[in-house]
Every structure is written in structure tokens, then in C-alpha cells.
Structure 1
Amino acid sequence: PSNFLKLLYDEHSNQIKIVATGSSAFYIDSKFRDSLAGREKLFQLYTCSFDEYLLLSGKSDLLKEKEILAGKRYYKSPLIDYLRIEWEEYMIYGGYPAIVTEPQKHEKINRLKEIRDSFVKRDILESGVKNESAFYYLFRILAGQTGGLVNVNELSSTLRIKNDTVVNYLNVLQKCFHIALIKPFYRNIRNELIKMPKIFLLDTGLRNCLMNNFLPLSERTDKGELWENTFFRMLADKYGTDPIQFWRTASSNEVDFVLSDIGKYKAFEVKYDKSQIRVNKYKLFKEAYPEIPIDFIWLNPYDHDFFRRI
């Protein structure tokens, strides 16, 4: 395919524009052996953002209402309850286009299971994974610890596979755009490389499918983790995954996200409930990095200001 695309570009670049898509980096690596350097622009596309979800699901009126909220500080929307319902559905079922356009919840679940099974089988086949059951169980374990540290030694012991195999499987899941591993924030780049990363899935619907948990937010015991993963996706939609890090000390003092945006840093602490935020807990971070402001984000889809911020 790479030679064909080269020929098209070299002979007809003034007449056509080529858009080549794929969902597996392993396929691209194997089929595009020759470099397209100088002829390509690469874009990483995630599943739908919340704005895209509203548009694709035929709720453009709610998208316009959300935009009005963002521009008017004291505006009280008559559609806030409808926005809240759609926001919860987005968190539960995620942003795969086939899921967004499916109106029935039971069919959303069935389609997510199909996506889960077909993706895992394809990833195993194309990446040459030998231990299929260990790969799948690793994926499920990671879904259950979103926002947590990835301890390779612990995963190796649990799955009874070598550390190198765990690292390889993590790499496969990253290259197939299922997970993101974010590094700890240090001024010393060496420390970033040797410390444990945090894990997030790139679609919350797939996460919930792997956990077999499609309960509404009011009934979930993992709503804090689900909200943190959703907020991570919001940051990734805007900035990509590379600028997103986290801060943590040996004594477990932590700030959920530290974002580098064109040389400027911002920090975010994400909680499900405002009552969980204790400003004094972040004293060490503020002392170490007084120039980095912390924004406290809590999930309250009943609040107009919440939709102004997302």
C-alpha cells in the first residue's frame, strides 16, 4: 500500500487528496514498510468527544445550548436536565460512533461486546500475542484500575507471566489505541522514565464493557474512577495524551493531572463530589510548584457551571 500511495502522491498530488485511515498501528507497520516521509500528515482520532456525541446522536439543539452556557456566565438553561441525561449516557456507553447512533441501550451493550471481542481478536492476531487469555485478563484488570498506578511486577505475579510479556502487552494495547499510560511529573526527566505510570482507557464505554458494568452513575461504586477517566479523555481530546502527566510523592500525596500547554503548566484535581476536595491536601504541591495553579473539578451535571467548564 505504501508504494501505491507514494505513486498517487508523486503523480497526482495536484489533483487529489488522499485520506488513509486505520485502527491498528501493527497493520500500518507491517503494510507500510516504506517511509512516506514528506508526503504525510498523521492525526490520531479518538472516539467521539461529548460535543461530537451530541452532534452525531441528533442532539444539535443541546450542543447549541451547551455553547450558549459556555458564553453566558449567569445564563440558566431550560434544557439542563436533558444535557445531564445525555452526559451520563456518554460516560456509561462511550463514544464509538456505532454506539452513539444506536438508540436502544441493550443494543448499545451488545455492540460494545462485539467491538470488545473483535478488537481483542484482531489485536492478538496482528501483534503475535501468544497467551490470549493472559492478554484479555490484563485488559480487564487495567479497566478496573483506571486512574491507578501500573505495577508491572504485580501484574506479572497475578497473571503468572514474565515482566517482559506484561510490558509487551501494554505496548500492544497502546499501539491499538485502547489505553494510555501517563507519566509522573518531575523536573528531572530521568525520574519520569523510571517511575510507575497511571493507566486510562481511551473510551469509557469499552472500559465499562470490560468490567461488565453499565449501571447508572447513582448506583455505581466506581463513579469517581469513571469520572476521572472521562476527564482524562476531555484533556486528550484537546491536547493529545503526551502533555498529560500526574504528580505523586512517596507518601501518596497526589495531584490527578499536570498539563503542559505551550510551556505553561496547569494542574487539575478531579473528584466526583465537591465535599471530597480538601485544599490543604495540596500544600506540598503548591510549595514545590508555586507557579502552577490547581483547578479543582467535580462532577455535578445538575449545575449549569459544570457544562460551562466541559
Structure 2
Amino acid sequence: MIKRALQPIIESKLFKGKIIIIYGARQVGKTTLIKSIQQNFFDKSLYLNCDEPDIRDLLTDSTSSRLKSIIGNKELVLIDEAQRVKNIGITLKLFADEIKNVQVIATGSSSFELSNIINEPLTGRKYVFILTPISLKELTFSIGWLETNRLLEERIIYGMYPEIISKPDEKKTLIKEITRSYLFKDILSFEGIRKPEQIEKLLMILAAQIGNEVSYNELANTLNIDKDTVSKYIDILEKAFIIFRLNPFSRNLRTEISKMRKIYFYDTGIRNALISNFNLLDRRTDKGVLWENFLISERTKFNLISDNDVKTYFWRTSQQQEIDYIEEVNGKLFAYEFTFSDKQKKTISKTFSKNYKPEKEMIVNKNNYSEFLELL
């Protein structure tokens, strides 16, 4: 089992008087993570799976007295799939206010389901963590750099979900099943989704144009829906940890693109399953943007785990000058261009360098990506 980098971070927050919330898409390993934490508490912990109807009934609109009788003398309470419990925010607030000697860890499969019902009740009473698919850094720590690098192409094509990594002989079947059965489960149960075929088609369009600027107006025209609905659907997909947005960097130049955005997938295996393309990289026309998505996703995981205060952008002008990825840290800019081949000549835009004087410029390829992702 690959140890998750979040585990020691979460363990350092135990018994600090706050509820711990872990968000993440289905199948990324939330249950495995909290059960690993549970191992340190033996008979002093209680695991509650809210997929079980009787567990939901116990926790729904409960009183503090009832909660105390449920947990007995346990010190750690693990509430898995907490979003399944009606008014779970109030129940968690009771734990925080009335049963302060007990540490509660709650998981939720999508932030739009859980955060909307806990934010107000748990104001000032919670630590929040996001669990993504396994990161390349976690994989390197588990199996070593040489093996991680050897499996790089497989990870780009089939992604980083735990089950995909642990069962390589079934990887294609499993990533298709995750995409079909789990990807839409939370999204399509959301009351704002009236036509599920539209959001499914939207995902496929987004999967086909990673690395390109996205126009909500064009998406609305293609799907025959209004722009506001497109915006709402993309927001839901982002809160379900399927996609994330990269906004344009624009400050000084008139020619800078300032209204478009790029959309990437947290997991490139999910992206490839949506377009049904599992070809090897040397047989793909999308190798460059797939590499770009993979690296930006891995860097996003790294920043989440490290709790880095980072603003991220891309940059482009109307003259087609561009920077694939920019990080802003404490007012300093770091500019990155991506190319899979170390033989392809690529440079950082001189216009960008002259106007913004970045702290660091780097062309990231298959030979130096370990430096960009801080793997070694």
C-alpha cells in the first residue's frame, strides 16, 4: 500500500479541538487513509460508514446525549461518506462543542455536497484537507525513483488512481469503470443537474481540448444551453475534483488574453477514458497537451500536500506568445514551458521575461521533470 503524504499531516492535527474534514473524489483512497490512521488507536476508535442506512439514521438529527451513547469510551470517531447524512453539519458541530475529548474525522466524496452543509455550522471548528489521486511524489517515495520513471508513460495514460496503480493488469478495465460508475455518481445526484447527458457531453468536450483556451460562449452554443448553465456545470465538476481551472495572467500588456481560461483534469487516466484513447505516447497527436496536463496536475497535488500559498496562471497574447504555466509566490513569478521531448527546441517568451522578470524560467521535459515536481 502506498502511504499517503496527507497521513502524517492529518495525524499532527489530531486532538487539537477541531473536526477534521477530508474531501476527495470517489476511489481516491479516503477510506484507506482513515483506516490507516485508525490502526494507531486499536480498540479506542469507531468507524461509521454512512453508506449503511442504520448508521445514517443514528447520526441524522442526533442529540449530544445520543452521540455520547453511540461512541462510548472511544477517542477517535471516523465518519466515512459523511455527506450521506442529512444535516451532518449540525451533528459535527455537536461533536465539536459537546464532546470535545473525542476526535472526529469525516470524509466526503464531493465538496459541493459536504461543504455547503458544514461551512456555517463548523466555522472555526474544522481543519480541511483534500485527497487527490496518488501523486508522483508519493509513488516515488513508495517504489523509488527508477521504477517511477520507468512507469511514467503508463501513469500518463492510465492515471494515478490507487486501484489503477495496484492492479496494473486490469488498468484499462478499471479506469473505464471508475469513469463510468463513479465519476458521475455524485454529480448526477446533485439537484441542479436536470439533463445529465449535457454534463457528460461537456466533460467529453473539455477532455478533447485540454491545453486550449476555453470559451464558455462556444461551449454553450455547442451544447445548446446558456452560458450560465455551462459556468454552473464547470463549477460542479471542479468541486467534484474532476477538473480544475487555470486563469490567464494579465497585468501590463494590451495584447494579453484576459478573459479565457484553460481547464485540466486532476487525473489524465480519467481524461483518456472519456475520449477512449489509451494509445502509447508515440502514437498520439495529443502527446504535448497530455504531458502538460499531467505535469500541471502533479504540481497541483504537490502544492496541495505542501499547503503552498500559490497562485497559478497561464499567459498568452494575441500574437500567440505564451507561457504554459506560471506560479506566483509572495509576489514572485515562476514561468514554465512543457515539452515531452528534450530534443524539441522551446524557449520562454522574451516579451514575458522582459516585462515581468520572473524569478525562475524552466523548460520542463521528460529528462528534468523530477526537478519541477521536486521528486528527488
* Aligned pairs (5 A) from 1:158-169: 158-169=222-233
Q: Matches of residues 245-256 of structure 1 in structure 2 within 5 Å?
A: 245-256=313-324
Q: Choose 1 or 2 for highest CA Rg.
A: 2
Other-structure match for 1:114: 177
CA distance in 2, matches of 1:251, 1:231: 25
Tell me if the contact between 1:3 and 1:34 (Cα under 8 Å) persists in the aligned partners: no
C-alpha offsets along residues 89-128 of structure 1, whole Å, 9 cap, x if unaligned?
A: 2111111122222231xx2222222222232143022142
CA contact (8 A) 2:257 2:315 kept: no
1:97 paired residue among 162, 173, 179: 162
Deviation digits for residues 172-197 of structure 1 (CA, Å, limit 9, x no counterpart): 11111111111111237xx9996111
| Cα distance in 1 for residues equivalent to 2:346 and 2:112 | 44
Partner of 1:266: 334
Alpha-carbon distance between aligned partners in 1 of 2:327 and 2:200, rounded to the nearest angstrom: 31
The 2-side partners of 1:141 and 1:292 are apart by 35
1:11 alignment partner in structure 2: 98
User: When the two structures are aligned, how many residues end up with a matched partner?
Assistant: 279
Residue aligned with 1:157, SS: helix
| Bigger strand share | 2
Q: 1:1-310, aligned counterparts within 5 Å?
A: 1-13=88-100, 15-29=101-115, 31-32=117-118, 34-54=120-140, 60=142, 62-63=143-144, 66=145, 80=146, 82-104=147-169, 107-117=170-180, 118-187=182-251, 195-240=259-304, 243-279=311-347, 282-300=349-367, 305-310=368-373
Mind listing any 5+ residue stretches in structure 2 that lack a counterpart? 1-87
Alpha-carbon distance in structure 1 between the residues aligned to 2:370 and 2:158 = 19
Q: Distance in 1 between matches of 2:256 and 2:93?
A: 38
Do the aligned residues in 2 keep the contact of 1:153 with 1:163 (CA within 8 Å)?
yes
Q: Helix, strand or coil: the match of 1:35?
A: coil
Q: TM-score w.r.t. structure 1 length?
A: 0.82
Q: Distance in 1 between matches of 2:258 and 2:358?
A: 25
Equivalents in 2 of 1:140, 1:203: separation in Å?
14
In structure 1, C-alpha distance between the alignment counterparts of 2:369 and 2:106, rounded to whole Å: 37
When residues 193 and 147 of structure 1 are mapped into structure 2, their CA distance, relative to the original with a 3 A threshold, is closer
Task: Say if 1:178 and 1:203, in contact at 8 Å, map to a contact too.
Answer: yes
Change (3 A) 1:3 1:121: closer
Q: SS of the residue aligned with 1:164?
A: helix
Is the contact made by 1:272 and 1:299 (CA closer than 8 Å) also made in structure 2? yes
Is the contact between residue 214 and residue 261 of structure 2 (CA under 8 Å) also seen in structure 1? yes
Contact 1:53 1:95 in 2 (8 A): no
The structure where helix makes up a greater share of residues is: 1
Q: Any idea what SS the aligned residue of 1:19 has?
A: strand
Change (3 A) 1:288 1:146: same
User: When the two structures are superposed, what TM-score results if normalisation uses the length of structure 2?
Assistant: 0.68
Contact 1:53–1:90 (Cα < 8 Å) also in 2: no
Question: 1:7, 1:202 → 2: CA distance?
Answer: 34
Aligned counterpart, 1:72: none
After TM superposition, give the deviation of residue 264 of structure 1 in Å.
2.0
Q: Comparing both chains, which one has the higher relative contact order based on Cα–Cα distances under 8 Å and sequence gaps of 6 or more? A: 1
